Structure 1
Amino acid sequence: MTHSHFDTQLDLIEQQFTELRSVVLAAHPQQVQAAASALQQLAVNLLQVADSKEGRAALQGRSRMQRIKSIANAIHPLREGLLRQSAYIDRALEVVMPSAQQQATYASGTPYGSALRQSGTFRVLSA
């Protein structure tokens, strides 16, 4: 079996995904961003290859589809790990800097259904 351009792209994606996973586990934010950007570019390249005649023929292979599915299934735990790290950093920031807590953009902090505040435009209503 020959190693096609599609297989080469899949190899590169798997290699970059492994690198991204190790960087996420090491918790290096700048490296995570660089590795994620590189993975995104490789995914775009794979889509371009898959859109060609050779790529459509390559997608008919069962082993290639299994490789793509395994990468897709591995993304979910990686995403959960990133969300967990983000929550951990947010909690640590709240401890160190309580004023860094994000205030509500539009809500006034009153519970739903409470009395509305008057805007000042119509202070007196007359009939």
Structure 2
Amino acid sequence: MARDFLGYIDRISDSATRAQIAKIAGISGSTVTRWDPSRNDHIKPKADAVIAIAQHYGQPPLEALIEAGILTSTDARVRVADRSLSEYSHSALLRELQHRLDGMSPPPANIREEKEDPSPDDYDLAAGHVDRPDDQPAD
């Protein structure tokens, strides 16, 4: 079954004329007319025109490509978040973070962890209480 991309355009554009849509997409008005799925000479819109229209009306291009029948939601691998991150508990977010960190590769061998505690001088240097050795004026 052919998708009704013109119906989608009507919804996002507040019923723009086919001439207006053609101008936005940079194509002829007759091409837009042939997007009508009830026509015998029906054609599928081209991706670049679909994306131009979606962007003009502030809509997600993937959504428009799906509406135009160019992609399916499976093709686009669209995952719709069913709720906001703020609705998840801290423990659920921490479990997800741990899961992602566990999947990361170990740091490169040339990066080593410091095992000794920093000296009090390091704290003064970091806090700006002492001049750094490289901040001394040149002779």
Q: What TM-score do you get using the length of structure 2 for normalisation?
A: 0.24
Larger Rg: 2
Larger RCO (CA under 8 A, 6+ residues apart): 1
Q: What TM-score do you get using the length of structure 1 for normalisation?
A: 0.25
Greater share of residues in helix = 1
